[in-house]
Every structure is written in structure tokens, then in C-alpha cells.
Amino acid sequence: MCHRGAAPLSSSLFTPYTLRGVTLPNRVWMAPMCQYSAPAEGAATGAPTDWHLQHYGARAVGGPGLILVEATAVVPEGRITPYDLGIWNDTQVEAHRRITSFLDEHGVVPGIQLAHAGRKASTDKEFRGGAPLTRDTLGWQPVAPSALAFDEGQPVPHELTAEEIRGVVDAFVAAARRSVAAGYRVLEVHAAHGYLVHEFLSPLSNHRTDGYGGSFENRARLAVQIADAVRAAVPEETAVFFRVSATDWAEPEGWTADDTVRLAALLKEHGVDLLHVSSGGTLPHARIPAEPGYQVPFAARVRRETGLPTAAVGLITEPEQAEKILAGGEADAVALGRELLLNPYWPRQAARALGAEHPFPPQYGRAERARYRTSRV
């Protein structure tokens, strides 16, 4: 930690980063995390509420460079739960503008994750157990690339037709346009964690025999079509990310790290600006060797072998750990999830620990001065 009068240390974590026309003030980003707190019925279904405004507002005051708003459904049946956010209508757009305006005001780039839950849709809130819902309890029949349930006791999804798949692409395009209208400058397509786009990618969940199944090229077809369509639908300066699961943790039968590198190279050719690298989600009981930074090597490999920028995520909790990831060239940014739920001010505290300039807002200055008062040297 720097003392007063000492020169600040150089920090990779707190240097700006530009993608297309978006300059992010630092490399500490907030990962998307569902709040399950949107109205499930009525005219405001799927629209952000005061909960979302204060939740994202508090993290904005904490100082990340980018906030990626939680998985936001492109169609009603694409919600994980009836209580998820959506952006399939203009009422939702107006509510999202409250969030993007506040983030902009506090120097944070607003981003949104566009999602379709596929066969993992129509469940209860995570903190109520996440059990499947029926039509009598606000539920619906999920859809998927193949009529394969996620787990025992889960509903068998409807297998999408080719025409319905085209409708999914159209829904992502409409959602992307609404997101730009709502003030988001980064759009992230959710292609991870066993949700619809990931379901098409993984041979564990995709047993199709048409042009969307079988070979790697066919299984990647939906992801590429969404990338092309979203890129064409939004302004050139808008950054487009993909979030992927680097592995199903079921090699060699499932989606693998080699597949992810191959997909990354393909997405780069189709206008994607950054890969946000997570893992898992296709299997309900996969053995995942979770430990600090356990997903970072996947992000590092994609970056090294394809040149596509990456964001690393997963059990990144310490400032020195995050700084080492960036300084070592393993990723271009780090995304924090649970750590920012517990501590909204992690970015500013990390800057202090690393000797970087990132002071608290003046309204909180008296607390900062009291806690971090140091002697002159």
C-alpha cells in the first residue's frame, strides 16, 4: 500500500481498456448474477424494479469498469424463472433506462447479458430451491435443441423446429436493438452454463440430425448465426461479448476446451469482441475442481491461441490475484460475481491495496479518510 507522498504503483487492473467504441475505465468488471426479483405477472413482467436500481447502483458506486446486468431473457419462455428480467418489450426498455442512466452518471459502462434458458427454464427462484414449475404455478414447457431433460424429475423440453430456431435468432436481434435503445453499450450473448446456446454447442444436450446437430460446425451454427445477426443489428461502436462454458467437465464426450478455442476463433471472425470464459452447467452433477482462479487457464489459452480478448471469472477474490492474472497476460479483464454481492466496494478497495488512484465518491470521503489515513514518509 502506498503512503502519502509516495508514487503510486503501476496497476494493470486499473488501466483503461477499449473495445470498438467503448472505453472501459478499468479491468474489474461485474459478472451477471440473477436476482430473481422482477414481476412475474402483469404489464411490468420482466421489468427491472427498485431492487435492481439499488442493487446495480450500489455496485456502480463501488467503481467497476463495467457492470453486466444479469441474464435478461429475449423472450418470455427464455426466462430461467418467471421472476427474471426480460427485454422483449418497450415497457422493459424504459425500466432498464433507469439503470443505464445511473451507471453512466457514475462512470461505469452499462452492459447486459442477453439470454435464453432453453431446457433449464420454468423453475422457481434459486433461493427457494429452483424446482420446476407447472402451468398452475407460473410455469411453461421449456424448449431445447433436443427432447432431453436436464435431470431426473425435470420436464422434457420441446425440440425446436428449424423455423423456431430462426425465431430464436430474431429474438436475440430484437433484444439487442432494445438494449441499445435502453442505453447499454456492451451486449453479452449468454452461451454458457447449460442454457440454450450452450445446449446446441454440447453433444451431451444436442442430439439433432439436421443442420444444427452432429458435427462441430453444425452445433456451432446457432452461436454463429446469433453473432452475425446481433453484430449487424447494433451500431459499430457497440461491443459484443459471448459468455461460454470452456468445458462441460465431461471430456471427451462433452464440450471441451479444444472446442472452446475453435469456437473462439470462429466467433472472432464473425465480429465478437471478447470471450467471457466460465465453465460447466450442462450436467447436473459434474465434478468441478473449484479452487481460486480455476477457470483462468481456459481464458488464457483462448487469448493465447486465437488473439481474441478474454475476461476471466471464477473464484477471483483478492486484488493481488486479479492483478497477477492481468499482468501475466492471462486475460484482458477479470469479472467478479459473488465477491461483489458481498462487497460492492471491492474495486475501490482493491485499487487502494494496489496503490492505484480510484478514490471513493466525495459523499463517502470522510469514511475513506478515516479508514485509510496513513502517516507521511
Q: How is the chain split into domains, by residue range? A: 17-372
Say what the pLDDT of residue 6 is.
36
Q: Which amino acid is at 196?
A: L
- What's the N-to-C CA distance of the chain in angstroms? 13
User: Is residue 18 within 8 Å of residue 55, measured between CB atoms?
Assistant: no
Q: Does domain 17-372 have CATH number 3.20.20.100?
A: no
Closest CA to 160 of 176, 174, 171: 171
Q: Cα–Cα distance between 306 and 269 in angstroms, integer?
A: 10
Please return the burial class of 224, using the count of CB atoms within 10 Å of its CB with bins 0-12, 13-18 and 19+: middle
Q: Cα–Cα distance between 154 and 132 in angstroms, integer?
A: 6
Neighbours of 136 (CB within 10 A): 6
User: Is residue 308 within 8 Å of residue 174, measured between CB atoms?
Assistant: no
Say what the pLDDT of residue 369 is.
86
Say what the pLDDT of residue 10 is.
78
Examine the residue annotation and report whether 36 is marked as an active-site residue of this protein.
no
Q: Cα–Cα distance between 1 and 74 in angstroms, integer?
A: 45
β-pair type (239-245, 274-278): parallel
And the C-alpha cell for 78?
A: 427464455
Number of Cα atoms under 13 Å in the Cβ half of residue 104: 12
Say what the pLDDT of residue 1 is.
37
* Torsion of the alpha carbons at 270, 230, 81 and 167, rounded to the nearest 10: -100
Q: Please list the rounded mean pLDDT of every run of 10 residues in the chain (377 residues).
A: 43 96 98 98 97 98 98 98 98 98 98 98 94 93 98 95 98 98 98 98 98 98 98 98 98 96 98 98 92 97 98 97 97 97 96 92 89 56
Please return the burial class of 156, using the count of CB atoms within 10 Å of its CB with bins 0-12, 13-18 and 19+: middle
For residue 282, give the 3-state DSSP assignment: coil
Say what the pLDDT of residue 374 is.
54
What is the model's pTM? 0.95
Angle at the Cα of 158 (from 152 to 163), degrees rounded to 5? 155
- Active site residue: 56, 83, 184, 195, which one? 195
For residue 204, give Cα distances in angstroms to 34, 51, 208: 25, 37, 11
